[in-house]
Amino acid sequence: MRKKHSLLFCALFTIFTGHAEDTDYTKGLSIWFDSPNTLQGKEVWHSSKQDASWESQSLPIGNGSIGANILGSIEAERITFNEKTLWRGGPNTAKGADYYWNVNKQSAHILDEIRKAFVEGDQKKAEKLTRENFNSEVPYEFSREKPFRFGNFTTMGEFYVETGLSTIGMSDYKRILSLDSAMAVVQFKKDDVAYQRNYFISYPANVMVMRFSADQPGKQNLTFRYAPNPVSTGQFSADGNNGLVYTASLDNNGMKYAVRIQATVKGGTLNNTDGRITVKEADEVVFYVTADTDYKMNFAPDFTDPKTYVGVNPLETTQQWMKDAVSKGYSNLLDEHYKDYASLFNRVKLELNPTVKTSNLPTAQRLKNYRNGQPDYYLEKLYYQFGRYLLIASSRPGNMPANLQGIWHNNIDGPWRVDYHNNINIQMNYWPACSTNLDECMLPLIDFIRTLVKPGEKTAQSYFGARGWTASISANIFGFTTPLESQDMSWNFNPMAGPWLATHVWEYYDYTKDLKFLKETGYELIKSSANFTVDYLWHKPDGTYTAAPSTSPEHGPIDQGATFVHAVVREILLDAIQASKELGIDKKERKQWEHVLANLVPYKIGRYGQLLEWSTDIDDPKDEHRHVNHLFGLHPGHTVSPVTTPELAEAAKVVLVHRGDGATGWSMGWKLNQWARLQDGNHAYTLFGNLLKNGTVDNLWDTHPPFQIDGNFGGTAGITEMLLQSHMGFIQLLPALPDAWKDGSIYGICAKGNFEIDIAWKDGLLKEATILSKAGQNCIVKYAGQTISFKTVKGRSYQLKYDKENGLIKIK
């Protein structure tokens, strides 16, 4: 599936200077290894064993629709391959649409009884009724779901390129992911021949390109084969003289897909029989691969039609892409790819202590040294930019958003079904999107949200008798919004999933100030989500509103007012109020939202100074649980802040201190953001350090464990939060600069109000900042206790300077 979107890219900041054969890619921003994988093209992947090489040694490339990992072994290259929409499950499973959609329990009428039980102090009864009525019969365990309704993201298979070479006598091996050019490169020498493989996946052409070359002619003796996803059935056929096409359908939902491969050679011979492409004595070989499924994104699914998400002919789409790609050829495709990628990636530049010398080491060695306490500002910068790289590679307009593993998965099924987890994970994926100048990459999330609305209305109505829409803990590409079967209600009972997602719609607007978007797409999503929260809340006889029943994600009891839920409600109501004002509409609704907001149970501070997680003070000071959702108001929300609510911020800090500085990957990523919001740069830096040391594997992927991409994005977002914050209605420069980053600069990050900002600092103090106004909004800037406000003109830049003597001044 791939829709065409017209993209308006910002001006290119870099002029393409051409592709140099002898480029040392490790000199730029790159992740690299100096030894090959020992895997020799054996099919290791469809086993339940953890594929450690894949997880930590492979290099991910992607264009938001197609993803691949390069393993870089000598004897046989191994490339794992994905297309974002290859999913099992959905309404087209064996039992059809009725079976798929009618899984919401009709439970709204039980709410009164549960609330009565709370009034009577009968916690047990409230819990029992919630447990019985607020989940569904759709299990999450693979073994119990037959047929898979919820489904899972699945691999599209693997490619192997046997080279006829062995590692004996091999030298100068490098496997590099160049973040400057979005290209993976494998280089080595053998018998005085220098071999090079180049890999990239082009977004404009929707094709993966792999070039095998050497510095001497006739050295390419390659056998290329494709091992398809084993839970599909399909067939190979020749695609012209130089290619293959594989057409298949998945086991349980019949999803059709096609994979096309073409090869071109300089010199030598090429054969494409028996599902293999064999090349003999060629000087250079270029393989082109493209793929598609028959999935169609549907914002208004027909609940009676099992094929409501079917609509593309992958044989046709891939045929066109392949034809165009081959006719462009390697160099043109590379130019086009580079221009496209650089127009996004090069928008932001980070320098940390640039005068500190650094040596060019393999990334695993850097990480090891870092773990041993050696500072490495290059590694920190690399990690930061890797998050941006990964977002560009896994989330581009026209396809689904980045899932739990972005777009990269190497097996039939994977951890948590490699799905869309809505209680932190997918949201975290998008934290860096707007702030690091990649707002286009957020559009797949918005489209995904749109796919949830219609089914989410059914869920809102069935469980809560509520207007609007909501989602639950896990979602798929087929609009699944129902709570999954579980006795652990803190996991599956998560009606705030929808409103939390909807806050991202406002965030996109708040950064871009794209009024047309708000009017035509965004507002309705926000408004209906706000209305859902109003109807879901319990309007108590004393006039207050509270969330009953509610839970704190994956933690604690069924409650009558979990702080997390109130925090999300606050956020979406504030967003809806603001959005309706911006459009000058819905005065009546706005009044109601304001009324609910004013009467929502307030934040409470508990017996050891902590921000309460639940309605009563049952928090355990020794609790180190990874979820810190009750601090939602601090981050990602904006209702707790050291600037506006210092007491609550202090209480949030107590929670963070007690929870500690360790945890799983994403949790450290979150706490990094929260410490940054508390404006404690040194503590935020500790969390960032811990994320790198304890939550990151050799290829810099985040590990839960296993590999889960959210922490990468949380990390990148958190570093941005340390340098710039704009969530409180003003711009704060360097709000959480750690002592370790004495000198540095960041160019091109974004603030709400559509400002693009460059900041330079020296000796821990701001030197200068340039603010480009892209929407002509008023600008309020804060630094070191000073505030400067000014009106701006769209398209103009404003310059501020700071020194100890004169403080913060606007010079232009």
Residue whose tokens read 């299990």: 139
- In the bound complex, what is the minimum distance in angstroms from residue 555's beta carbon to ligand FUC? 9
**Only segment of 149-157, 420-428, 434-442, 610-618 that touches ligand FUC (CB under 6 A):** 420-428
- In the bound complex, what is the minimum distance in angstroms from residue 497's beta carbon to ligand FUC? 11
Name residue 245's amino acid.
V
- In the bound complex, what is the minimum distance in angstroms from residue 399's beta carbon to ligand FUC? 21
- In the bound complex, what is the minimum distance in angstroms from residue 462's beta carbon to ligand FUC? 23
Q: Does 420 bind ligand FUC (CB under 6 A)?
A: no
- In the bound complex, what is the minimum distance in angstroms from residue 488's beta carbon to ligand FUC? 11
- Token pair in block for residue 380: 């920190």
- In the bound complex, what is the minimum distance in angstroms from residue 371's beta carbon to ligand FUC? 23
**Under a CB-based contact definition with an 8 Å cutoff, are residues 475 and 422 in contact?**
yes
Residues of span 542-601 touching ligand FUC by CB under 6 A:
554
**Under a CB-based contact definition with an 8 Å cutoff, are residues 154 and 403 in contact?**
no
What is each CA distance from 789 to 81, 512, 778, 797, in whole angstroms?
A: 51, 20, 7, 14
**Only segment of 7-15, 48-56, 143-151, 416-424 that touches ligand FUC (CB under 6 A):** 416-424
- In the bound complex, what is the minimum distance in angstroms from residue 474's beta carbon to ligand FUC? 9
- In the bound complex, what is the minimum distance in angstroms from residue 429's beta carbon to ligand FUC? 12
> Which region, left, alpha or beta, applies to residue 523 given φ > 0 means left and ψ of -120 to 50 means alpha?
alpha
- In the bound complex, what is the minimum distance in angstroms from residue 553's beta carbon to ligand FUC? 7
Query: Cα 621 vs. chain centroid, distance in angstroms?
Result: 32
What's the rounded Cα separation, in Å, for the pair 663 and 645?
27
Per-residue string for binding with ligand FUC, 11-40, x by CB under 6 A? Answer: ------------------------------
DSSP string, 148-192: -SS--B---EEEEEE-S--STTEEEEEEEEETTTTEEEEEEEETT
**Which residue, 91 or 495, is less far from ligand FUC as judged by CB?**
495
What's the rounded Cα separation, in Å, for the pair 622 and 379?
33
Residues of span 223-252 touching ligand FUC by CB under 6 A:
none
- In the bound complex, what is the minimum distance in angstroms from residue 498's beta carbon to ligand FUC? 17
DSSP string, 563-613: HHHHHHHHHHHHHHHHHHHHHT--HHHHHHHHHHHHHBPPP-B-TTSPBPS
- In the bound complex, what is the minimum distance in angstroms from residue 705's beta carbon to ligand FUC? 10
Give the chain's length: 812
What is each CA distance from 591 to 328, 534, 571, 578, in whole angstroms?
A: 58, 12, 16, 12
**Which residue, 514 or 554, is less far from ligand FUC as judged by CB?**
554
Q: Return the bridge partners of 196, or none.
A: 187, 213
**Which residue, 425 or 461, is less far from ligand FUC as judged by CB?**
425
List of residues 6+ apart from 355 with CB closer than 8 A? 743
List of residues 6+ apart from 221 with CB closer than 8 A? 163, 164, 279, 280, 281, 282
Tell me which of 136, 308, 629, 664 binds ligand FUC, using CB under 6 A: 664
What's the rounded Cα separation, in Å, for the pair 774 and 440?
16
**Which residue, 342 or 404, is less far from ligand FUC as judged by CB?**
404
- In the bound complex, what is the minimum distance in angstroms from residue 467's beta carbon to ligand FUC? 28
**Which residue, 385 or 664, is less far from ligand FUC as judged by CB?**
664
Q: Does 153 bind ligand FUC (CB under 6 A)?
A: no
- In the bound complex, what is the minimum distance in angstroms from residue 416's beta carbon to ligand FUC? 4
**Which residue, 298 or 664, is less far from ligand FUC as judged by CB?**
664
Residues of span 622-641 touching ligand FUC by CB under 6 A:
626-627
**Which residue, 190 or 704, is less far from ligand FUC as judged by CB?**
704
**Which residue, 196 or 667, is less far from ligand FUC as judged by CB?**
667
Q: Does 404 bind ligand FUC (CB under 6 A)?
A: yes
**Which residue, 421 or 774, is less far from ligand FUC as judged by CB?**
421
**Only segment of 67-75, 417-425, 431-439, 495-503 that touches ligand FUC (CB under 6 A):** 417-425
What's the rounded Cα separation, in Å, for the pair 273 and 243?
9
The CB-nearest residue to ligand FUC is 416
**Under a CB-based contact definition with an 8 Å cutoff, are residues 494 and 568 in contact?**
no
- In the bound complex, what is the minimum distance in angstroms from residue 92's beta carbon to ligand FUC? 26
Q: Does 421 bind ligand FUC (CB under 6 A)?
A: yes
- Token pair in block for residue 647: 């007491």
CA 277-283-286 angle, to 5 degrees, is 50
Tell me which of 416, 545, 603, 675 binds ligand FUC, using CB under 6 A: 416
What's the rounded Cα separation, in Å, for the pair 258 and 85?
12
Q: Return the bridge partners of 350, or none.
A: 746
- SS3 state at 125: helix
- In the bound complex, what is the minimum distance in angstroms from residue 490's beta carbon to ligand FUC? 10
**Which residue, 73 or 395, is less far from ligand FUC as judged by CB?**
395
Q: How many CA atoms lie within 13 A of 62 on its CB side?
A: 33
- In the bound complex, what is the minimum distance in angstroms from residue 666's beta carbon to ligand FUC? 6
Residues of span 65-104 touching ligand FUC by CB under 6 A:
none
Name residue 475's amino acid.
A
Residue whose tokens read 């400002």: 755
List of residues 6+ apart from 384 with CB closer than 8 A? 350, 715, 716, 719
Q: Does 427 bind ligand FUC (CB under 6 A)?
A: no
**Which residue, 666 or 730, is less far from ligand FUC as judged by CB?**
666
**Only segment of 301-309, 415-423, 612-620, 717-725 that touches ligand FUC (CB under 6 A):** 415-423
**Which residue, 220 or 405, is less far from ligand FUC as judged by CB?**
405
- In the bound complex, what is the minimum distance in angstroms from residue 81's beta carbon to ligand FUC? 23
**Which residue, 407 or 808, is less far from ligand FUC as judged by CB?**
407
Per-residue string for binding with ligand FUC, 689-708, x by CB under 6 A? Answer: ---------------x---x
- SS3 state at 707: strand
List of residues 6+ apart from 526 with CB closer than 8 A? 502, 505, 506, 572, 575, 576, 579
- In the bound complex, what is the minimum distance in angstroms from residue 711's beta carbon to ligand FUC? 9
Closest by Cα among 503, 497, 444 to 470: 497
Binding residues for ligand FUC, how many (CB under 6 A)?
A: 12
**Which residue, 375 or 415, is less far from ligand FUC as judged by CB?**
415
Closest by Cα among 589, 603, 455 to 534: 589
**Only segment of 30-38, 421-429, 575-583, 752-760 that touches ligand FUC (CB under 6 A):** 421-429
Tell me which of 425, 552, 696, 712 binds ligand FUC, using CB under 6 A: 425
- Measured over all CA atoms, what is the biggest interatomic distance in the chain, rounded to whole angstroms? 85
**Which residue, 603 or 666, is less far from ligand FUC as judged by CB?**
666
**Which residue, 290 or 664, is less far from ligand FUC as judged by CB?**
664
**Under a CB-based contact definition with an 8 Å cutoff, are residues 712 and 390 in contact?**
yes
**Which residue, 425 or 686, is less far from ligand FUC as judged by CB?**
425
What's the rounded Cα separation, in Å, for the pair 436 and 31?
20
Q: Could you tell me how many helices (H) and strands (E) the chain has, helices first?
A: 20, 32
Which residues lie near ligand FUC (CB under 6 A)? Answer: 404, 416, 421, 423, 425, 554, 626-627, 664, 666, 704, 708
